[in-house]
């Protein structure tokens, strides 16, 4: 017996559509431990959207040897001089890697190893980024329009947000003279 089916999900342009898509939005109010300038943050609306994520999880979280797929949409903006960015995480299973592929906009992938050495890679349409294991990652929108990228990661990777929430990254991405600069914290 054989069969021909429609795909479960459509990924067209920058949109991910299908009944099994999980969507989450992060606002400034969700990210109070993330941005450095607390006075600038307090002066902004807590319901200001910072990023949306749409994910396709075809297998249960934690499944060995499965894959997950997601699209992240980061709004343009800054808190003080720091660009809008994602929370950032290590993978719970530290050796799990990930690919990011930029679809639209301009930004920076900020990477920090377990010795807290931080570096950044420029993101622009078409840029492909391999995030090795043992490396915390977050992305910042450095442009005036949405930054959109896709991500592919192992379904058993998990996310450790706690260590970033406690210690942050050693470098923060700020605007200086109109340019993004990785400054030490």
The binding site for ligand F6R (CB under 6 A) comprises: 53, 70, 72, 86-89, 98, 137-138, 151, 153, 159
54: helix, strand or coil: strand
Which one, 78 or 138, has the nearer CB to ligand F6R?
138
At closest approach, how far in Å is the CB of 89 from Zn ion? 6
Which one, 101 or 175, has the nearer CB to ligand F6R?
101
Alpha-carbon distance 131 to 153, whole Å? Answer: 10
How many C-beta atoms lie closer than 10 Å to residue 71's C-beta? Answer: 21
What does 86 interact with, of Zn ion, ligand F6R, none (CB < 5 to 8 A by kind)?
ligand F6R
Alpha-carbon distance 123 to 184, whole Å? Answer: 21
Alpha-carbon distance 33 to 120, whole Å? Answer: 21
Among residue numbers 76 through 135, which ones bind Zn ion (CB under 5 A)? Answer: 98
Which one, 78 or 89, has the nearer CB to ligand F6R?
89
Tokens 């040897």: give the residue: 65
- If you ran DSSP here, which 8-state letter would residue 19 be given? T
Give the footprint of Zn ion on this chain (CB under 5 A).
Answer: 98
């Amino acid at each position: 017996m054989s069969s021909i089916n429609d795909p479960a999900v459509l990924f067209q342009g920058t949109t991910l559509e299908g009944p099994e898509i999980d969507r989450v939005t992060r606002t400034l109010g969700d990210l109070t431990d993330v941005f450095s300038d607390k006075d600038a943050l307090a002066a902004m609306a807590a319901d200001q959207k910072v990023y949306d994520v749409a994910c396709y999880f075809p297998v249960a979280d934690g499944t060995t040897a499965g894959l997950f797929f997601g699209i992240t949409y980061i709004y343009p903006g800054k808190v003080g001089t720091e660009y809008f960015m994602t929370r950032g995480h290590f993978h719970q299973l530290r050796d799990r890697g990930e690919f990011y592929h930029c679809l639209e906009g301009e930004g920076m992938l900020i990477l920090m190893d377990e010795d807290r050495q931080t570096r950044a890679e420029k993101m622009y349409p078409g840029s492909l980024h391999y995030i090795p294991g043992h490396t915390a990652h977050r992305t910042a929108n450095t442009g005036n329009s949405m930054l959109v990228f896709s991500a592919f990661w192992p379904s058993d990777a998990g996310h450790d947000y706690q260590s970033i929430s406690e210690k942050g990254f050693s470098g923060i991405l700020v605007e200086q003279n109109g340019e993004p600069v990785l400054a030490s914290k």
